Amino acid sequence: MKQNLAMNKEWEDILVYLEYHYGIIHPISPQLIGKSYELALSAGKNVYGVMAGKDVYKSKDQLKGFPLKKVFLYATEDEYFRSDLYEELITDCIYTTKPSVFLIGATPEGRALAPRIAARFKTGLTADCTELLIREYLNLVQIRPAFGGDIMAQIITPNARPQLATLRYGAAKSIEPVFEHRIEFINITKEKCMNKIEVINSEIFHETKGIAQQDILVVAGKGIRKKEDLSMLEELAKLLGGELASTRGLVEKGWMPIDKQIGLSGQTVKPKLLITCGVSGSLQFLAGIGGADLIIAINTDKNAKIFNIAHCPICGDLYEIVPELIKLIKNGQNSGLLKSNTN
């Protein structure tokens, strides 16, 4: 009979991979810490962190106030992420801490590292999770869309440890570093590690603010009749100080670029205000907007799924409603609902 490692008391607590680049902690790390703390609190366990990179000891000030019991800092000789080297370092940390759960961000680096760790420990890996829960015996419920977004699959790994999952950016809210808690930092230098990858050249790309970082979004759906009508929604977005985004349907038509797409095959967003225009609300789309504070939905179909989660459902023609909104804003009459809910 296969041993049920969920009953093994040696494998407890939660370990979080904290990305660190050029002296800055990746913004997905506070999201991972927040979700890990939520899970650990419900299970009565601790949260540990692990970080690798050059001069990682300089990250200590950035981590102050986060609810981490210990952080393992693995110093490397250069700034570059090397998947084989980092695999060795993280493996060492896992053997040291024996976590029941190991969480990694679904970033390019995380997606390169997570499969190597999963293979190393012969454990399962659920990629791009949108939600995580803890059940009895510290079984991690890893929730992600499946079958093209038609269902939300709940995946568990009862017979292997650690349970490994990557979490999508924006799937969890960042936790604020307000905890009066002293973190124990453990500095580690590994002298001999496998390192077969040679970096010939590297170049830093400075990211621009995308839809995932916007506080206000106006979303165009299939209710838009022609591409030229997008200018109307773009005007609304600019007047509100936000940006225009879209569903997958308009991207597939070639009307909107892929980096403006919300949903499972696009981006997960968490704006303070989200206005959907002609969006029906497929499961694929809804999975990408769960973090929005206020959702205003405009649709002519009273049975549209988007109305099930909208805070302010408006059953009507967007071609009548949006121009009126634009007029009100231009006349300085946007100080009510829209403004008060985006502060």
pLDDT digits (tens, 9 = 90+) for 276-298: 999 999 888 988 887 788 999 99
User: How is residue 122 written in tokens?
Assistant: 């012969």
Instruction: Name which of 182, 164, 37, 30 is nearest 99 in CA terms.
Output: 164
Residue 110's CB: how many other CB atoms inside 10 A?
22
- On whether the CB atoms of residues 72 and 186 are closer than 8 A, the answer is yes
Per-residue pLDDT band for 101 (boundaries 50, 70, 90) equals very high
Long-range contacts, stretch 54-59, CB < 8 angstroms, 24+ apart: 54/78, 54/79, 55/23, 56/20, 57/185, 57/187, 58/23, 59/18, 59/20, 59/23, 59/25
Q: What residue spans of 27-155 are helical by DSSP H?
A: 28-43, 60-63, 83-97, 108-121
Q: What is the DSSP letter of 261?
A: B
The pLDDT tens digits of the residues spanning 330-339 come to: 887 554 444 4
Produce one character per residue of 33-55: b if its CB has 16 or more CB atoms within 10 Å, e if not: bbbbbbbbeebebbbbbbbbbee
The average pLDDT across 137-165 equals: 87
- On whether the CB atoms of residues 124 and 165 are closer than 8 A, the answer is no
Q: What is the pLDDT of residue 331?
A: 85
The pLDDT tens digits of the residues spanning 8-65 come to: 678 999 999 999 988 889 999 999 999 999 999 999 999 999 999 888 888 999 999 9
Beta bridge partners of 51: 73
Ramachandran assignment for 44, one of left (phi > 0), alpha (psi -120 to 50 degrees), beta (any other)? left
- On whether the CB atoms of residues 32 and 105 are closer than 8 A, the answer is yes
| Least confident piece of the model among 3-7, 30-34, 122-126 | 3-7
The average pLDDT across 51-80 equals: 90
Percent of the chain exceeding pLDDT 70 equals 90
The average pLDDT across 240-244 equals: 94
Q: What is the pLDDT of residue 337?
A: 45
- Say what the pTM is: 0.76
- On whether the CB atoms of residues 107 and 33 are closer than 8 A, the answer is no
